[in-house]
Amino acid sequence: MDLDALKEMIETKVYHISPDVEVPLHEHPTQDEVFYCVKGSGFGVLEDEEIELNPGDVFVAPAGKMHSIKNDEPIVLTALLIPVNRIVCHCKQVRYADIRKAMTCGARTVEEIQEITGAGTGCGNCLGDIEHILSVACGCNNVSMEDAVAAVKGGADTVEKMEEATGAGNNCGKCKLLLQNIIDLKR
């Protein structure tokens, strides 16, 4: 990837989070998110760990890790979202995007992912990661495959209706092809 392309893909955000706003646990499967605390204080939550944030502190949420922000006073954070295509299966060099692409073609089980990508057929250390990826329809909004399929069974027959029913697809939008596949296959 050339430098200009990378510059275009990096997102910058500024978050003003008041104490009455709850930031739900979520993940960015294809982006590392780097927070810099500008004002106020709180905690960066990374799965089961809390990291104190005061002005000048940095908190990194690697791609694929559940994270959130907790604060008892107003906090101002800047964030960089940096694109990554993390390797899930090191034995076979299978990346996250390879697994998601297989899912958009209908793969829904570990065995189907193994057949299509080869992931999980070496040492097996990645099987838990593969199962997690298979369980998530939209990582940005923490929408499970189970919830997405239930929405389809409840009448969500377009991506827009899926977004209304579950919130899936209304952030980065990278899951929209998978959502359409879920609608098409009804699974």
> Is the predicted pLDDT of residue 139 greater than 90, yes or no?
no
Q: Are residues 76 and 158 in the same domain?
A: no
Q: Are residues 121 and 172 in the same domain?
A: yes
Distance (Å, whole) CA 43 – CA 50: 6
Q: Are residues 105 and 160 in the same domain?
A: yes
Q: Are residues 24 and 91 in the same domain?
A: no
For the residues 2-16, what does the mean pLDDT come to? 88
Of 83, 101, 130, the domain-final residue: 83
pLDDT band at 4 (very low <50, low <70, confident <90, very high): confident
Q: Check residue 1 and give its pLDDT.
A: 59
In tens, the pLDDT along 10-60 reads 999 999 999 999 999 999 988 999 999 999 999 999 988 999 999 999 999
pLDDT band at 80 (very low <50, low <70, confident <90, very high): very high
Q: Are residues 105 and 67 in the same domain?
A: no
Q: Are residues 112 and 178 in the same domain?
A: yes
User: ∠ at Cα 109 (106, 111), nearest 5°?
Assistant: 110
Query: Does this model's pTM top 0.85?
Result: no
Of 33, 56, 83, the domain-final residue: 83
Distance (Å, whole) CA 28 – CA 7: 18
Q: Are residues 55 and 104 in the same domain?
A: no
| CATH code of the domain in which 35 resides | 2.60.120.10
Q: Are residues 157 and 94 in the same domain?
A: yes
Q: Are residues 41 and 107 in the same domain?
A: no
Distance (Å, whole) CA 138 – CA 90: 24
Q: Are residues 78 and 104 in the same domain?
A: no
Q: Are residues 55 and 101 in the same domain?
A: no
Distance (Å, whole) CA 102 – CA 111: 12
Distance (Å, whole) CA 71 – CA 42: 4
Q: Check residue 7 and give its pLDDT.
A: 82
Instruction: Give which of 102, 108, 64 is closest to 83, Cα–Cα.
Output: 64
Of 65, 83, 101, the domain-final residue: 83
Q: Are residues 70 and 102 in the same domain?
A: no
Cα–Cα separations (whole angstroms), residue 42 to 19, 29, 62, 67: 9, 24, 19, 13
Domain with 163, as residue range(s), is 87-185
Phi/psi at 7 (nearest 5 deg)? -60, -40
Q: Check residue 140 and give its pLDDT.
A: 86
Q: Check residue 66 and give its pLDDT.
A: 93
Number of domains the chain is built from: 2
